[in-house]
Each structure stands twice: as C-alpha cells, then as structure tokens.
C-alpha cells in the first residue's frame, strides 16, 4: 500500500509539494515558449520534473512517477536541442502538467486510464525519431528558432483535452479553504505575542488583587474616621486617621494608573494576537493568478488573438475565504478581457496599435480593503451595441438613452451577453453576473470603467478579511450604527455644506458635482426626533450617495458577527458587533439601502409635486388615467411572462404600462398615474417586496393596490408579501387568466 495513504501528514506534504512543482512547471513552460534561451529555461523545468518524479517515487505513486519520467525525458531532449520548441511541444507538456496536478492523491480530480496512456503516447511521439534534430550535437545549446512548421505527430486515442488553463487554475482554488501553508516565522511570532499576552493577564490579575486589598483598607479607614468623628475623638487622633486615609487614596490612584497602563498594553497585544491569527489565514493573490497565463494563452489561441498577461502586486494578501470567494470571478474577468475586450492582431494594426494585446491583473492594498483590477487595452465597450442588446433582452425600455456607468451595469445581469453565437468561452450569458454576485456576497463592490478605443477596466474592491471590518460609528437619534469603510469616500459637516432642493429631492453640491442626499435614519426607519448634522459620502456601484446622520463619532475596527438563524437576513443590515458597553451595534448595508432609497426618492419627488399642485398640503391618491380605462403597471423581468400579462390585461380593457424590474417600475410611476401595480418578486435591482414597501410609504401612493404574482409559494413568502403591503398574492404555477382579471377588477373597482 502506498506510503502516502498510511500517513496523512506525508500525504498532505506530497500534495503541497506536487501543487507547487506543477505550478512551477506550468509557469516555466510559458517562459520556455517565449524565451530566446530555451536551454536555460528547459534546465529549470527539468529540475522541477525530476524533483516531482523523485517525490512521487518515494511516496509510491507509480502513475505520477511514470508520467513525470516521460516528461523529464522530453524536456531533456529540448534542453539538448534535439527537440525544437514548438507550440505543439509546449501544448503537450502543459497537458501533462495538468494531469500531474490532477493525479495528486487526496484531490477531487480523477484521471482515466485512457487519458494516461494517451498522454504517455503523445510524449513518446514528440520525443521520438521523427521529431529529433540530428544536425545539432547533443550538448549544444539550441537557439530560439524562427517560426518552424509544427510536425504532425499521430497520438494514441485520447479524450479531447480541456482548455489548458482550466484544470491548473482550478486545482489550487479547491484547496485554499481547507489548508493554508503558513511560514513558521508567523507561527513563532504569534506564539511570542501569546506568551506576552498571558504575562499581561497575570499582571492584571495581581494588580486587581492589590486594588481589592486597597479598597478594603480604604473602606476600613473611612469607617474608623466616621466612628472617630461621632465619638468626639481628639484632633490628633482625627488627623492620624485622615493622614492614613490620604495615604491609601494615593496608593489607590497609583495602582489604578498601573492597572490602566497594563490594560492598554494587554489590549495592544490582544490586537497583535488577532492580527497574527488573521495572518495565518492570509494568502497572496498570486495563488489564484498562478494559472492565468495558461488561461490567457488558451483563450487567445482559440479566438485567433495575440495576448500577453501582465501581473502586478500579487504579493498582496487576502483572507483565504475572500480569495476563495473571488477566484471564479477573477477567472471570468480574465477570460472576458481576452474574448470580449481584446482585438485581433489585424484589427489592432488597422487602429494603429501594436499587434499584441495586453491584459493586466493588478492588486493593491487600500486601508482595510484590497483593490483588484482586471483591464485590457482593447476596443472598450460600445454603448450603442450594449444598449441595443439590453433592449432586445427586455432589460431596458425602448427608446432609453442610458449611457456610461449606468448602462454598463447591465452587463452584470444574469443571462446577458452581446454575443449572438455561443462559443466555449462566451455567448451563454454566464460569467459577469457571477462576478457581481461573488464580490457583493463578500461585502465588496465591482465597478466597470471603459473608454472607447482604449480598453476596459473592472475594479473589484474587496475586504481584507470577513471577520474584522473597519467601520465608522455614526449616531442616529439614540442609537449607534456601524458603517463599513469600504466604499466610503469622505465624511463632512452639513452645517456649511451646499445643499439644494432639485425637483423635490435634496442634493449636495460637492467639487462641481451634485450628489444625492439621503437621510440614513429615515431609510432605516429609526424612530424619535433627530437632527442630521453630518454626511457620509459612499460610492459602492454607480454614482455616489451622501447619507445624512446625526453625528460621526469615531472610526474603529470591529469584529463582525452574523445575526444568526433566528433573525436571519435583516433588510439594510449586513451583520452586527458588540460595543464597549455591551450593546449591539448593527452594521448597515449601504448597497441594499441605496437600492431601497432610490425608488423612494423617485416616488417621493413625484408625490410631493402632486401635493403642491393640490394646494392644501394633504396627501391624496393619484387620479386614474381617464376615459374610463384603468391603468395597470406590470413589473416583471421575464419578457415572456410580461408580454403574456400585458396581453391578458389589455384584452380585458385595461391600459397597460410595463417595467423590467422594481427600479424601472418606480421610474414608470412618475410618467403618469396608475390604478394598480402587478409585480413579480425576484428581479434584479429592486425586488417586488421592496417596490411594494416603497409604494406604501410614499405620500400620495399609499392607496394604490398592489398584486404580487410569483413562483415563491411558501407560507413565509406569502406572509412577507402581505406584510410588505400587497393586496393580493397569486402564484404563477396556479396561473388562471380569469382569476387574474377578477382580482384586478375587484381591487380597481372596474
């Protein structure tokens, strides 16, 4: 039985070493392909293959041993110049490296016997007689040849290999969350600090006992002085007792000062222990980027492009859970940059660019966050093509003039793609929605910046860790709330700020820009009297929003706790922390609040204008559309369902307006009065429950009937819909045309 299966520690050691050697082989092969000195590059590769073969032999892994041995033979011939460096040679060696990584015991990958024999045959064929260069001495270095026609070599039957980058990039990503290799220096440093912290605990305990003894002595002296005063003791005796009391008081002050100093030292060391413990779970970004060279090479080859990957700042470290969570997102972005962003060599030459495109992956630390960017120097996003595709898929209404960052957010919608054809890398509308979901699920933000003709940048702002967050503590009435610093641009006083009322909405004039001003306490529903005197300007997606608060108190790192299964997901909150006085402080989710507020602001401005027209200041329901036909707003993200509902209601004699999601529905409500809203629940942007709550709390719209029609039929979902303010809750799976029309007629009255 193999030794590695008998000893878990040895098996883990073998897995780590094999993963590192496979990554080194993969990177070295790309260097070999581009190198002007293939002898040196092949020598390094030969050493890695030899080391892997030796480890596999020691651990009794015969399949890995044999495959590494054949790869070593071929690399030896490349080093000696007897096999030229061609794309086919590099392809086969990359596929061999992929199999070696997949063959490591304890991984989730399986390698079939057919794959094994096919790869062995391919290695033998490339190193065989038909591919050797007999005119070069065995020991002579082989100069980098001019492009040489690739020799066609027959291979034994084997399955179609995956894209070269698929497996190598996936293997390390699977293991990050289970095991993390930590330098011994970090462990020893942490143990040293833990020892100092233990000493602090003993010192604080001693000072606490001393303080208790002094308090007992102080109390006894106070009682003695009181008794002496009551018994009429002599002045001398009273003076002695007062002197003793003063002495004990001085010692109490000194002990208290020492205790405070020891407590501060202990607090600092505990912070160092926390940072050290967090450091044990930190991994560099390069662990994810290791296979991206191969990924770019494979996607570029399939699309007929010449692309080089530039990697910068990948020594920046992140919590392993954050890096795990964003690994697939980065892979999608790199693939998207090559497939969608980069042009072909001919297109680049025609536009006066170099024939080789560049994709850049960079990372940098920014306080409590890490900013990761994936950019290309391609054609950029064509707003007109993007707009047409969004309208065709029902994501934007006909005639929309959306552009820039607002329009670019469409590319993150599920199922969206500008491609009309489906390839192995694009056209299915799967990818960028995964990016947004992954990043926002980690509490981060993603932004797209594109310049026509120059390229596109995807900017991911990620928390360094999920357990600790740097926050602003703000006050709203009598309560304190924590605002995560990720995405916060600045804080400012509203006392001297330029605040204007534009069409019924407040905006903050700042450096030549008009920033919408929202009342954070009002959006959260904080009760009691308040007087906002400060603002927190945050930008998570799209344009910034200024949040008015009563006061900004301090900045602090807090330990983030989930709200637990009992409370579950609370709207507008991403977690909680415990304050110094033991009270619970909610961490606000500004992204969720921005989505909720944007609909409220739009409806509120329109309702306010209606109130002013009425002249008496009282809220009143909006009038119907006139001419005896009631007007219904259908809010549904599915084009087929939306058109079916529109057709049914129009046949029943209603005037129908449609919207593609909650935000679009809120905007449509400004275009004219409606008598009823028919809404789905699960939609991008603003969901149906949020839209319903928005309508119910907006002056002048409280009495507009809302009908929810959804596929979510659980009792909890039904209660959530009715609690939000829906007048009826219908299920799509029980759809009945007559029931829908009857419900609308009952609520509208005609």
Q: What is the pLDDT of residue 72?
A: 80
Residues 271 and 288 in one domain: no
Reported in sequence order, the residue ranges of 394-512 that DSSP labels E, i.e. its strands, are: 445-451, 455-463, 468-476, 479-484, 488-493, 498-502, 505-510
Cα angle for residues 104, 106, 109 (degrees, 5° grid): 65
For 265-304, the pLDDT digits (tens) are: 887 777 777 777 777 777 888 878 877 887 888 888 888 8
Asked whether residue 606 is assigned to any structural domain, the reply reads: no
Confidence of residue 137 (pLDDT cuts 50, 70, 90): very low
- Lowest mean pLDDT across 108-117, 239-248, 365-374: 108-117
Q: What residue ranges in 520-669 does DSSP mark as E strands?
A: 534-538, 545-549, 551-559, 573-578, 584-588, 631-635, 655-659
Co-location of 487 and 372 in the same domain: no
- Paired strand residues for 472: 483, 555
How confident is the model over 178-216, as pLDDT tens digits? 566 666 777 777 777 777 777 878 888 888 888 888 898
Q: Token pair for residue 540?
A: 């998570």
Q: What is the DSSP letter of 561?
A: B
475/451 same-domain check: no
What is the rounded CA–CA span in Å between residue 117 and residue 125?
A: 12
Inside any domain, residue 694: yes
- Residues 437 and 297 reside in one and the same domain: yes
Q: Which two tokens stand for residue 496?
A: 């001297």
Asked if the structure places residue 167 within a domain, the reply is: no
Residue 173 belongs to some domain of the structure: no
pLDDT in tens, 352-403: 999 999 999 999 988 778 899 999 999 898 888 888 888 887 777 777 777 7
* Model confidence pLDDT, tens digit, residues 463-498: 887 777 778 888 888 888 888 887 788 888 888 788
Torsion of CA 57, 62, 63, 64, to 10 degrees: -10
444, 462 in Cβ contact below 8 A? yes
Domain harbouring 572, CATH code: 2.40.50.180
> Taking the CA of residue 383 as centre, how many other CA atoms within 13 Å lie in the half-sphere pointing to its CB?
14
For the chain, give the longest Cα–Cα distance: 122
Domain that holds residue 729: 616-748
CATH of residue 20's domain is 1.20.120.160
The last residue of a domain, from among 248, 280, 312: 280
CB contact at 8 A, 373 and 313: no
Residue 477: per-residue pLDDT? 85
- Answer yes or no: is pLDDT of 153 > 60: no
If asked whether residues 124 and 146 sit together in one domain, one would say yes
Least confident of 117-121, 253-257, 322-326: 117-121
Q: Is the pLDDT score of 584 beyond 70?
A: yes
Indicate if 512 and 565 belong to the same structural domain.
Answer: yes
Torsion angle of the four alpha carbons 301, 305, 311, 317, in this order, in degrees rounded to the nearest 10: -60
From 280, 297, 316, the end of a domain falls on: 280
Residue 574 predicted with pLDDT over 80? no
State the pLDDT at residue 428.
32
Check: CB of residue 588 under 8 Å from CB of residue 524: yes
Q: Residue 719 pLDDT > 60, yes or no?
A: yes
Q: Is the pLDDT of residue 112 over 70?
A: no
Structure tokens at 364: 């940098």
Q: How far apart are CA 601 and CA 622, in angstroms?
A: 17
What is the four-CA torsion angle of 278, 279, 280, 283, rounded to 10 degrees? 110
Measured in whole angstroms, how far is the alpha carbon of residue 152 from the centre of its chain?
45
Query: Last residue of a domain, which of 463, 493, 518?
Result: 463
Is 502 found in the same domain as 453? no
Place of tokens 């006066």: 352
Distances (CA, A) of 138 to 32, 82, 88, 145: 19, 7, 21, 17
Whether 441 and 493 share a structural domain = no
Q: How high is the mean pLDDT of the chain? A: 75
pLDDT reported for residue 592: 75
pLDDT confidence tier of residue 430, bands split at 50, 70 and 90 = very low
Backbone angles phi, psi at 509, to 5 degrees: -80, 120
Give the ranges where 393-450 is alpha helix by DSSP (H): 404-408, 432-441
582 in a domain, yes or no? yes
Please report how many Cα atoms fall inside a 13 Å half-sphere around the Cα of residue 590, on the Cβ side: 30
| Statement to judge: residues 400 and 449 lie in one domain | yes
Given a contact cutoff of 8 angstroms between Cβ atoms, the answer to whether 493 and 473 are in contact is: no
Distance, in Å, from the CA atom of 369 to the CA atom of 460, rounded to the nearest integer, reads 10
- Residue 417, pLDDT score: 65
* CA separation for the pair 456, 379 (Å, rounded): 8
CATH of the domain at 633: 3.40.50.2300
- For residue range 308-328, list pLDDT tens digits in order: 999 999 888 888 888 888 888
HSE-CB of 702 using CA atoms within 13 angstroms: 6
The model's pLDDT over 76-85, given as tens digits with 9 standing for 90+, comes to 888 877 888 8
Label residue 133 left, alpha or beta by phi (over 0 means left) and psi (-120 to 50 means alpha). beta
Q: Name the residue with higher pLDDT: 51 or 141.
A: 51
Q: Provide the CATH number for the domain around residue 411.
A: 3.30.565.10
Q: 578: which strand partners?
A: 584
The answer to whether 290 and 169 have CB atoms below 8 angstroms apart is yes
Q: Say yes or no to pLDDT of 424 above 50.
A: no
Structural tokens at position 116 = 């094994």
Spatial contact of 630 and 624, defined as CB atoms under 8 Å apart:
yes
pLDDT category, 154, cuts 50, 70, 90?
A: very low
Residue 184, C-beta contacts closer than 8 angstroms, at least 6 positions apart = none
DSSP secondary structure of 636-648: -S-HHHHHHHHHH
Cα 735 to Cα 249, 631, 711, 713: the distances in Å are 81, 21, 10, 12
- 630 and 532 fall within a common domain: no
**pTM surpassing 0.85?**
no
* Residue 611 within any structural domain of the chain: no
Structure confidence at residue 530 (pLDDT): 78
506 vs 296: which has the higher pLDDT: 296
Give the phi and the psi of residue 90 in degrees, each rounded to 5: -65, -40
The answer to whether position 338 is within a domain reads yes
**Does pLDDT of 604 surpass 50?**
no
Number of structural domains found in the chain: 5
Least confident range from 55-69, 120-134, 343-357, 668-682: namely: 120-134
C-alpha to C-alpha distance for 650 and 659, rounded to whole angstroms: 15
Residue 53, exposed/middle/buried by CB under 10 A (0-12, 13-18, 19+)? buried
Residue 604 falls within a domain, yes or no? no
What is the pLDDT confidence band of residue 677, given thresholds at 50, 70 and 90? very high
What stretches of 615-661 show up as alpha helix (H) in DSSP?
639-651
Query: Which of 137-141, 220-224, 565-569 comes out lowest in average pLDDT?
Result: 137-141
Are 393 and 453 found together in one domain? yes
Q: Fill in the DSSP letter of residue 129.
A: G
Higher pLDDT, 614 or 686: 686
CATH code at position 269 = 1.10.287
Residues 340 and 458 in one domain: yes
- C-beta of residue 425 within 8 angstroms of C-beta of residue 302: yes
As a whole number of angstroms, the distance between CA 413 and CA 410 comes to 6
At 329, list the tokens. Answer: 């997102």
pLDDT at 237 over 90: no
Q: Which pLDDT value is given to residue 502?
A: 59
Q: How far apart are CA 394 and CA 388, in angstroms?
A: 10
Residue 346 — very low, low, confident or very high, per pLDDT cuts 50/70/90?
very high
């Amino acid at each position: 039985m193999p030794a590695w299966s008998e000893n878990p520690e040895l098996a883990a050691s073998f897995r780590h070493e094999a993963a590192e050697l496979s990554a080194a082989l993969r990177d070295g092969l790309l260097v070999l392909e581009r190198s002007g000195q293939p002898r040196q590059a092949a020598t390094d590769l030969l050493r890695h293959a030899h080391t892997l073969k030796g480890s596999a032999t020691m651990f009794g892994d015969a399949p890995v041993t044999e495959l590494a041995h054949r790869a070593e033979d071929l690399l030896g011939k490349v080093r000696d110049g007897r096999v030229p460096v061609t794309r086919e040679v590099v392809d086969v060696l990359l596929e061999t490296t992929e199999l070696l990584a997949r063959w490591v015991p304890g991984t989730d990958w399986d390698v079939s016997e057919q794959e094994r024999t096919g790869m062995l045959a391919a290695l033998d064929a490339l190193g065989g007689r038909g591919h050797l260069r007999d005119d070069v001495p065995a020991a002579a270095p082989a100069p980098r040849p001019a492009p040489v026609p690739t020799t066609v070599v027959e291979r034994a039957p084997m399955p179609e290999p995956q894209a070269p980058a698929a497996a190598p990039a996936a293997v390390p990503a699977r293991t990050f969350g289970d095991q993390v290799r930590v330098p011994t220096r970090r462990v020893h440093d942490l143990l040293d600090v833990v020892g100092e912290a233990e000493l602090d605990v003993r010192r604080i305990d001693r000072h606490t006992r001393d303080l208790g003894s002094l308090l007992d002595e102080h109390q006894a002296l106070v009682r003695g002085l009181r008794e002496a005063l009551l018994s009429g003791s002599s002045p001398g005796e009273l003076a002695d007792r007062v002197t003793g009391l003063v002495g004990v008081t001085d010692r109490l002050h000194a002990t208290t000062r020492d205790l405070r100093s020891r407590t501060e030292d202990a607090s600092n060391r505990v912070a160092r222990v926390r940072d050290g413990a967090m450091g044990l779970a930190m991994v560099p970004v390069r662990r994810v980027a290791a296979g991206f060279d191969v990924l770019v090479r494979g996607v570029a080859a399939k699309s007929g492009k010449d692309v080089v990957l530039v990697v910068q700042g990948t020594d920046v470290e992140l919590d392993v859970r954050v890096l795990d969570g964003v690994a697939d997102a980065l892979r999608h972005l790199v693939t998207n940059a090559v497939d969608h962003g980069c042009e072909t060599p001919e297109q680049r030459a025609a536009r006066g660019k170099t024939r080789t495109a560049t994709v850049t992956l960079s990372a940098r630390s920014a306080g409590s966050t890490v900013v990761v960017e994936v950019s290309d120097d391609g054609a950029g996003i064509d707003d007109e093509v993007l707009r047409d595709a969004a309208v065709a898929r029902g994501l934007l209404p006909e005639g929309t003039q959306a552009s820039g960052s607002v329009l670019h957010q469409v590319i993150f919608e599920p199922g969206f793609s500008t491609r009309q054809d489906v390839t192995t890398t694009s056209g299915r509308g799967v990818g960028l929605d995964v990016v947004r979901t992954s990043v926002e699920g980690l509490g981060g933000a993603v932004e797209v910046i594109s310049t026509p003709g120059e390229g596109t940048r995807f900017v991911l702002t990620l928390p360094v860790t999920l357990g600790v967050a740097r926050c602003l503590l703000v006050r709203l009435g009598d309560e304190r709330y924590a605002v995560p610093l990720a995405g916060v641009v600045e804080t400012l006083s509203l006392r001297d700020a330029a605040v204007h009322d534009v069409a019924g909405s407040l905006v903050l004039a700042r450096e030549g820009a008009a920033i919408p001003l929202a009342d954070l306490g009002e959006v959260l529903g904080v009760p009691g009297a308040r007087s906002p005197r400060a603002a927190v300007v945050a930008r998570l997606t799209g344009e910034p929003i200024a949040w008015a608060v009563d006061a900004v108190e301090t900045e602090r790192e807090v330990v983030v706790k989930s709200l637990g299964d009992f409370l579950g997901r609370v709207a507008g909150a991403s977690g909680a922390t415990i304050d110094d006085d033991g009270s619970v402080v909610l961490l606000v989710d500004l992204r969720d609040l921005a989505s909720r507020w944007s609909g409220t602001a739009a409806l509120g401005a329109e309702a306010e204008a209606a109130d002013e027209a009425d002249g008496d200041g009282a809220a009143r329901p909006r009038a119907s559309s006139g001419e005896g036909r009631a007007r219904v707003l259908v809010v549904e993200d599915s084009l087929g369902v939306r058109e079916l509902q529109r057709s049914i209601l129009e046949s029943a004699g209603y005037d129908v307006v449609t919207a593609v999601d909650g935000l679009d529905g809120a905007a449509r409500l400004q275009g004219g009065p409606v008598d009823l809203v028919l809404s789905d629940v699960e939609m991008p942007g603003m969901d149906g429950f949020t839209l319903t709550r928005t309508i119910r709390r907006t002056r002048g719209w409280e009495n507009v009937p809302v009908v929810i029609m959804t596929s979510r039929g659980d009792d909890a979902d039904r209660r959530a819909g009715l609690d939000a303010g829906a007048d009826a809750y219908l299920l799509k799976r029980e759809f009945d045309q007559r029931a829908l029309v009857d419900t609308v007629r009952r609520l509208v009255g005609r």
